[in-house]
Amino acid sequence: MTVQILDHTECELGEGPTYDPAQDKAWWFDIVGKRLFEHEFDANRTSVHEMPVMASMLGVVDKTTQLVATENGLYLRDTAANRLTLHHPLEADNPATRSNDGRVHPSGAVWIGTMGKNAEPGAGAIYWFFKGELRKLYPEISIPNSICFSPDAATAYFTDSRTGRLMTVAVDPGDGYPVGEPSVLYDYGIQKSGLDGAVVDADGAIWIACWGAARLIALSPKGERLHTVPLPASQVTCPAFIGRNLARLLITSAWQNLSDAERDADEHAGKTFVVDMPVRGKAEPRVIL
């Protein structure tokens, strides 16, 4: 699996990549730096859009509109003007938290996590948002991550990175809402590295970025370890399938909390990578408002 650097900009906390095949564009965030990156593959050009708030996750509504999760709400973004309009508050009354990992379910619903800005234990939650309705699914989450869905839309995966356990739960394929209780699919254990963002390929394998371990791991839907992919930055954060045939992964990373000496030793920390894959993904669904 060949690894290349897509963008050399060093993000303090690169996160939330997504891709729209119809436009052949990818987006990702530097959460702490309040920046949104946009890469046009046909022109091989990356643009940077300044954000007025910390933002972490983006879902495409249509060619001109996106839903963006931020530290105080879900906003609609006018892509031509880079203008945000509040669509629904999200913990707007709690300045100590911000949004983190999230993904669009095949139904068009959104799962989005929140966390303390200093990763305070139990300060966040995971929410479900669909057609204007926001519900809290799982409270007292410290670092919500690995939110993704099976190809048949009947299963959701997520983790609280603080626990080291990847959870699985049955959901309604029609709206992505849980219909059962979560159970542990895979126990990564409590160690210096941890499970971060994840995405599911077309065959159902779960590809997870391992923060602090400079690698992706792939798990089967039964929780069996399938693959390990070494990466050139220690703190990799989240993958997303990209390309017209969805046979590549875009992977974000971070230099957050590294000392000067650690950054010198980790020369690609915060950069954004592309990996040619032996599998194919599924296109990210569009958000249904």
Hey, is 50 helix, strand or coil? strand
Give the number of other Cβ atoms within 10 Å of residue 225's Cβ. Answer: 10
**Which tokens belong to 173?**
């394929």
Which H/E stretch holds residue 273? strand 272-276
Of the candidates 99, 91, 87, 98, the one whose C-alpha atom is nearest the C-alpha of residue 132 is 87
List active site positions: 196
d(CA 213, CA 38): 27
d(CA 42, CA 286): 21
Which H/E stretch holds residue 110? strand 110-116
Q: 26-30: long-range contacts at Cβ-Cβ below 8 A with a sequence spacing of 24 or more?
A: 26/240, 26/242, 26/250, 27/58, 27/66, 28/238, 28/240, 28/250, 28/252, 28/272, 29/55, 29/56, 29/57, 29/58
Bridge-based pairing state of the strands 35-40 and 45-50: antiparallel
